[in-house]
Amino acid sequence: MDILLVMCAGVLLGARWFPQKLYRFNANLQLLCTVILIFSMGVSLGARPQFFEELSTLGVQSLFFCLLPIAGSVALVYPLTQRFLAAKQSIGEEDGHGSSGDC
């Protein structure tokens, strides 16, 4: 919930007061934060005493319980979004292209 509030504060700043000349800085800041977060995740994992042992003993089962839920999620989300969201988006994009073409 905290994350949503922080993001909303950013949205408010971006929508009202954020200067265009800082857009690039903002994009670079996102990249830097991302790299730090992923690095931190790696640090936490590497520091776990049994990390490598767990990886070798439970690896195959973990892979099944990783890949099949991903496959299930993609298999459901793709047709749903293709039918109800992507079609709407492409219609919107076509409208946009049409109006810019008119201009």
Footprint of another protein on 10-29 (CB under 8 A): 10-16, 18, 20, 23, 26-27, 29
Identify whether the C-beta of residue 24 lies closer than 8 Å to the C-beta of residue 30: no
Q: Which of 21, 64, 98, 99 binds another protein (CB under 8 A)?
A: 64
Residues 28-57 close enough to bind another protein by CB under 8 A: 29-31, 33-47, 50-51, 54-55
User: How far, CA to CA in Å, does 70 sit from each of 51, 60, 63, 76, 83?
Assistant: 23, 16, 11, 10, 20
Q: Which of 21, 24, 77, 98 binds another protein (CB under 8 A)?
A: 77
